[in-house]
Amino acid sequence: MKKQPYLGNSVHTIAVLKSYGISARKKYGQNFLIDESVLQAAVDAAGVTEDDCVLEIGPGIGTLTQYLAYAAGKVCAVEIDRSLLPILEDTLMGWSNVRVINADVLKLDLRELVMEENAGRPVKVVANLPYYITTPIIMQLFESGAPIKSMTVMVQKEVADRMQAKPGTKDYGALTLAVSYYADPSIVRIVHPSSFLPQPGVDSAVIHLERHEKPPVEVKDEKILMDLIRASFNQRRKKLTNGITNYAGFSYTKEQAEQAVADAGLDPQVRGEQLTLEQFAAIADRLAMY
Binding-site ranges for ligand SAM (CB under 6 A): 28-33, 57-60, 63-64, 78-81, 104-106, 128, 130, 133
Which of 12, 76, 13, 4 lies closest to 40, judged by CA? 4
Cβ closest to ligand SAM, residue 80 vs residue 260: 80
- Beta carbon of residue 77, minimum distance to ligand SAM (angstroms, whole number): 8
Cβ closest to ligand SAM, residue 74 vs residue 271: 74
Task: Give burial (CB, 10 Å; 0-12/13-18/19+) of 254.
Answer: exposed
Beta strand 204-211 pairing with 53-57 = unpaired
- Beta carbon of residue 173, minimum distance to ligand SAM (angstroms, whole number): 23
Cβ closest to ligand SAM, residue 48 vs residue 105: 105
107-133: burial string, b at 16+ Cβ within 10 Å, e else: ebebeebbeebbeeeebbbbbbbbbeb
Cβ closest to ligand SAM, residue 57 vs residue 240: 57
Task: Give burial (CB, 10 Å; 0-12/13-18/19+) of 213.
Answer: exposed
- Answer whether 154's CB lies under 8 Å from 42's CB: yes
End-to-end C-alpha distance for the chain, whole angstroms: 60
- Beta carbon of residue 128, minimum distance to ligand SAM (angstroms, whole number): 3
Beta strand 196-197 pairing with 32-33 = antiparallel
Cβ closest to ligand SAM, residue 79 vs residue 117: 79
- Beta carbon of residue 6, minimum distance to ligand SAM (angstroms, whole number): 13
Cβ closest to ligand SAM, residue 141 vs residue 284: 141
Residues linked to residue 150 through DSSP beta bridges, in sequence order: 124, 210
- Report d(CA 10, CA 206) in Å as an integer: 20
Cβ closest to ligand SAM, residue 36 vs residue 184: 36
- Beta carbon of residue 158, minimum distance to ligand SAM (angstroms, whole number): 16
- Beta carbon of residue 42, minimum distance to ligand SAM (angstroms, whole number): 9
- Report d(CA 172, CA 247) in Å as an integer: 20
Cβ closest to ligand SAM, residue 42 vs residue 224: 42
- Beta carbon of residue 82, minimum distance to ligand SAM (angstroms, whole number): 10
Nearest position to ligand SAM, beta carbon = 58
- Report d(CA 161, CA 283) in Å as an integer: 26
Distances (CA, A) of 290 to 65, 260, 264, 269, 285: 47, 10, 15, 21, 10
